[in-house]
Amino acid sequence: MHADDVSLQSLIGSEAAAEPAFVFDGIPVSRAKFTGKVEQTTAWLAAQGIGKGDVVAVWLVNRVEWIALLFAAARLGAIVAAVNTRYRSAEVAHLLALSGAKLLVVEAAFRSIDFAAILADISKDEVPALQTLAVVGPNAIPAQWPSVRFDAFEKPYPPVLAQHDIDLPVLLYTTSGTTKGPKLVAHSQRTLANHANAVATALQLSPQRHSLLAMLPFCGTFGMTSLLGFIAAGATIHVLDAFEAVPALKILREDGITHTFGSDEMFRRILALTDAPRPFPHLEVCGFAAFQPGWRELAAEAEARGLPLFGLYGSSEVQALFSIGRASDALAERIEGGGWPMSPGARVRARDTETGELAAPGVAGEIEISAPSRFLGYFKNAEATREAITPDGFFRTGDIGRLRGDGSFVYETRAGDAMRLGGFLVAPGEIEDELKSCAGVADAQVVAVDLNGQARCVAFVIPAGEPPQQEALTARLRERLAGYKVPARIYFVDAFPVTDSANGVKIQRAKLRAIAMERIAAEPASSGSAS
């Protein structure tokens, strides 16, 4: 296979592709124009001193510059580190330091996000490799690093030759798993392009008949995988810069959208905006991940109103849309997480967590996956990579599920203590470390609970002397972390419940969850804090 066949650039070249390639806020972008933007961005990156192996951190909402930067980096042999726009200073600093990013491309401003204030809370010592900020938009960002404008589309830069290093890292996602700080999941052009083509084939996408509403952030595998799959199919992609239910509903109804992907809460919000019995006559597939209670009831309502939900499975390591339910399945089975792998080369098995033996169909165990979409490894973390991969090349997902026996599987739950908050997998240690860095905090533990139908976290804090003010702790966390990571409650305790074992003392996290729910249930109806 020629390198061009599995490069990102290869995804654009279909002769049967529909036009335009993208629609951003009502503005069409043709495939030829997008290819030109990629060439302009490649030249701009080279002019900033970016070359093979250099890391460019991209901290942008969904815009054409995001995609152009990824494709341009691929041409140079450079690497894009995706930064979640919901991240705050501690998270951004961790990603920049771990990736060794040389250049950060950042929004000038977007809605209520104060990028300048977030950057101001990051010291140069925390991110020693960072040399330059590149600002997208007309406004400057005051910062302690040299700053330039991203003006690739406005002025010419000397052209450069393209690279074909399709098996080197090109994109880094963040993933928390059960570790304290997020790891960086590395993918190559080959893993991304192969999976994009598998998605296009498995969904039987037709350039002229199908279209996508891209309403998930490109910084995550869910948003990026669906984007690349429809680029590979040559179908038109309508892009939301960030999800809002009102414009999503408008595009779904007016632009003949056939496919979209999102969380259960996104689809719940869209449905709530219309009383029409079947407002989406063109929709064929709405792939969803279930994060909130009541998702089965939502799926039944959505089905009755012509919004067909399909359960999915995926991760940063094997990419989103790894598998999906089938239209021929009964609704109850189709909406389960899991389904059939998109790639015919993918293999799924379950391993009994007690015996270590492979589990028979119908028996729950840890899901292990071998697939062309599997990641290269954790960036700059060979030890974690070795721990995540079996001797015969399967990825240990850390998820519990079971095989159905017909080639499909069912995802049941996440193993370990990782929390699903705001649609993102979050390690308790991230929040605990921030709490421990606050004055007056000796130790902290964080658990997830169901609070008013939403997954939220609750913190237990052992104070160092006089307990600090809860309001002060919450305010500090809001400065340092994304909003969905800020605890809904903070409780001060003298000690944590523990169990002695052969391997040492272990904190009883299940008991902490039970204590949290007891305390919340005992609160007056109007009570609440740190919501």
Q: What is the DSSP code (8-state) at residue 510?
A: H
Question: How many C-beta atoms surround the C-beta of residue 242 within 10 A?
Answer: 15
Instruction: Give SS3 for 255.
Output: coil
pLDDT reported for residue 527: 52
Amino acid occupying residue 405 = G
Q: Residue-wise over 80-107: b if at least 16 C-beta within 10 A, else e?
A: bbbbbbbbbbbbbbbbbbbbbbbbbbbb
pLDDT reported for residue 505: 55
Cis before 281 (ω within 30): no
pLDDT reported for residue 502: 41
Find residue 338's DSSP bridge partners.
Answer: 410
Please, are residues 81 and 106 in contact by the beta-carbon 8 Å criterion? Answer: no
Looking at domain 31-187, does it have CATH number 3.40.50.2300? no
Contacts of 529 (CB under 8 A, 6+ apart): 470, 474, 488, 489, 490
Beta strands in 155-301 (DSSP E): 169-175, 183-188, 211-214, 236-239, 259-263, 285-289
Find residue 458's DSSP bridge partners.
Answer: 447, 489
CATH 3.30.300.30 in the chain: give the residue spans: 419-521
What are the mean pLDDT values of the chain's consecutive 10-residue runs (531 residues total)? Answer: 76 88 97 97 98 98 98 98 94 96 96 93 96 92 93 96 90 75 93 98 97 97 97 98 97 97 94 94 95 85 96 97 96 96 98 91 94 98 96 95 94 75 78 91 92 90 92 94 94 87 64 94 68 39
Predicted TM-score (pTM) above 0.75: yes
Considering the domain 419-521 in this protein, what is its CATH number?
Answer: 3.30.300.30
pLDDT digit string, tens, across residues 430-455: 898 899 999 999 999 999 998 888 88
pLDDT reported for residue 358: 97
pLDDT reported for residue 397: 96
Residue with structure tokens 């960036």?
379
Q: Quote the CA–CA distance of 351 and 315 in Å, as a whole number.
A: 18
Query: What's domain 243-414's architecture?
Result: 3-Layer(aba) Sandwich (3.40)
End-to-end CA distance of the chain: 53
Instruction: Give SS3 for 452.
Output: coil
pLDDT digit string, tens, across residues 206-227: 999 999 999 999 999 999 999 9
Tell me the backbone φ, ψ of residue 48, rounded to 5 degrees: -85, 5
pLDDT reported for residue 530: 45
- Upper half-sphere CA count for residue 328 (Cβ side, 13 Å): 2
CATH 3.40.50.12780 in the chain: give the residue spans: 31-187, 243-414
| Alpha carbon of residue 188 to chain centroid | 17
pLDDT reported for residue 37: 98
